[in-house]
């Protein structure tokens, strides 16, 4: 079995408890305007090009005549010949077996830190079978498992993961369906329904809300209410413009140019006021 992923990050400290290895799945069915991992959206491997590193050596043109023309499909295959690191192929099809092997390498560190493996993305649940396989292998080896999700998938996908998942980190971007559609491109009815059902069935669920001033910031109270009703913890995560450069490398436009980055103190105060947590991770 294969999975399309774009990174495996070891020594990850903010995607669940302890020292973790996070597997980033490629492909997402949301299009959040503020997404800081735009390369995670398309389910196919794609080309990232950093113009400042390019020396114009022409090796990629020799490899593929479509390079740097309008015919280029951004498949990223030419990155293999780029000598200066200007071209990178984001995303790869990898055997689940191999992913598990990497994920299990840090077991000694999971043991001493109470950490484990986190599946993130993109939306990992779009590849639910691969996820379930990885999680099952992890559990078999006594490793703590977590899944980060935006929840916009049929609940049957969750059901495949439920027996092997210790913790779900569930993202909520807003309650108002109109605003939600504007911000992330889809309605939130399925997401909210899943949030409710998952809270009933999963071992442990924590909700997270990205706080984007001027876009969903007014929603924060409604989200609080919603999560409180489910009797689950909520953490806020602050907007950051860290992903700006990636849009350019993918040949895309970043539409959120003028959003203010809230300070950590501001976020801490807000979280305290609302009686929720603040996670200093970026969204």
Partner 1 sequence: MEMKHLEPFAWGYRHAEKKDVEYRIANGIYTFAEEFEIELNVKNKFVAPLGGMGRYAVNYARADGITLRREVKERNIRDYPELEEQINVYFDYFFPYETHRVISKYRTPEEEKLEINKCCWAAGGGHSNPDYEMLLRIGTNGIRNRIALFRNIHTDKGGFYDALERTLDALELLARRYREKAAEMLGSAEGEDKKTLARLVKAFENIPQNAPRDFFEACEMFWFCFAFIDVDSPGLFDYALGRYYENDDPADRWECLEGLWELFRETRTWNLCVGRSDEFGNDYTCALTYDVLKMAREKKYDTPNLTLRLHSGSPEKLWREAAETLSSGIGMPAIYNDECVCPALEAIGVPPSDAHLYCMNGCNQIDIFGKSHMGLEDGEISVAKALEFALSGGVCRFSDEKLGADTGDAASFKTFDELMAAYKKQIEFMADYIVRTSNKAQEIFAERAPNPWKSLIVQGCIEKGLDYKNRGPIYGHAQVLTEGLPDAADGLAAIKHYVFDEKKYSMAQLVDALDKDFEGYDELYRDFKGYHKFGNDLEDVDGVYAEITDHLYRYFQTKRTFRGGVFGVGCSTFHRAPNYGFHCGALPNGKKKGERLLADSIGATPGCDKNGPTALLCSVMKGNQYLATSGNVMQIKFSKSQFCTERGKEAFIALAKAYFTGGGQTLQVNVVSREELLDAVEHPENHQNLLVRVGGFSQYFVKLPQPLQENIIARTEVAL
Q: Write out the residues near partner 1 by the rule CB under 8 A.
A: 9-15, 18-19, 21-22, 83, 105-106, 108-109, 111-115, 237, 240, 242, 244-245, 280-283
Own/partner long-range contacts of 97-100 (Cβ < 8 Å, ≥24 apart): 99/3, 99/5, 99/8, 99/23, 99/134, 100/133, 100/134, 100/137, 100/138
* Cβ proximity to partner 1, 120 vs 188, nearer residue: 120
Least separation, in Å, of the C-beta of 181 and partner 1?
26
3-state secondary structure the chain: CEEEEEEEEEEECCCCCCCEEEEEECCCCCCCCCCCCHHHCCCCCEEEECHHHCCCCCHHHHHCCCCCCCCCCCCCHHHHHCCCCCEEEECEEEEHHHHHHHHHCCHHHHHHHCCEEEEECCCHHHHHHHHHHHHHHHHHCCCEEEEEECCCCCHHHHHHHHHHCCEEEEECCCCCHHHHHHHHCCCCHHHHHHHHHHHHHCCCEEEEEEECCCCCHHHHHHHHHHHHHHCCCEEEEECCCCCHHHHHHCCCCCCCCCCCCCCHHHHHHHHHHHCCEEEEEEC
Least separation, in Å, of the C-beta of 127 and partner 1?
21
Least separation, in Å, of the C-beta of 282 and partner 1?
4
* Cβ proximity to partner 1, 21 vs 194, nearer residue: 21
How far is it, in rounded angstroms, from Cα 208 to Cα 281? 11
* Cβ proximity to partner 1, 50 vs 155, nearer residue: 50
Least separation, in Å, of the C-beta of 192 and partner 1?
25
* Cβ proximity to partner 1, 105 vs 181, nearer residue: 105
* Cβ proximity to partner 1, 13 vs 229, nearer residue: 13
Least separation, in Å, of the C-beta of 245 and partner 1?
4
* Cβ proximity to partner 1, 214 vs 280, nearer residue: 280
Least separation, in Å, of the C-beta of 234 and partner 1?
17
* All residues at 6 or more sequence positions from 175 whose CB lies less than 8 Å from its CB, including other chains: 188, 192, 219, 222, 223, 225, 226
Least separation, in Å, of the C-beta of 276 and partner 1?
17
* Cβ proximity to partner 1, 77 vs 111, nearer residue: 111
* Cβ proximity to partner 1, 10 vs 31, nearer residue: 10
Least separation, in Å, of the C-beta of 262 and partner 1?
12
């Amino acid at each position: 079995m294969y999975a399309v992923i774009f990174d495996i990050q070891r020594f990850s400290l903010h995607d669940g408890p302890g020292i973790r290895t996070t597997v980033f799945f490629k492909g997402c069915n949301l299009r959040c305007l503020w997404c800081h991992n735009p390369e995670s959206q398309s389910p196919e491997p794609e080309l990232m090009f950093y113009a400042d590193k390019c020396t114009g050596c022409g090796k990629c043109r020799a490899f593929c005549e479509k390079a740097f023309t309008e015919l280029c499909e951004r498949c990223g295959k030419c990155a293999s010949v780029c000598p200066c690191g200007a071209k990178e192929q984001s995303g790869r099809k990898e055997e689940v077996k191999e992913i598990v092997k990497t994920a299990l390498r840090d077991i000694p560190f999971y043991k001493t830190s109470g950490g484990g493996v986190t599946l993130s993305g993109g939306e990992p649940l779009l590849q639910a079978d691969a996820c379930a396989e990885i999680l099952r292998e992890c559990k078999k080896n006594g490793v703590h498992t977590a899944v980060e999700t935006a929840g916009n998938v049929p609940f049957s996908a969750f059901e495949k993961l439920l027996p092997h998942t210790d913790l779900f980190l569930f993202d909520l971007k807003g309650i108002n369906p109109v605003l939600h559609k504007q911000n992330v491109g889809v309605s939130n009815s399925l997401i909210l329904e899943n949030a409710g059902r998952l809270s009933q069935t999963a071992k442990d669920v924590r909700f997270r809300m990205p706080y984007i001033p001027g876009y969903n910031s007014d929603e924060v109270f409604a989200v609080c209410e919603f999560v409180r009703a489910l009797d689950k913890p909520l953490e806020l995560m602050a907007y950051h413009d860290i992903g700006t450069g990636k849009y350019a490398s993918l040949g895309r436009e970043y539409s959120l140019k003028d959003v203010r980055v809230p300070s950590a103190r501001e976020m801490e105060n807000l979280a305290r006021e609302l009686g929720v947590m603040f996670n200093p991770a970026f969204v």
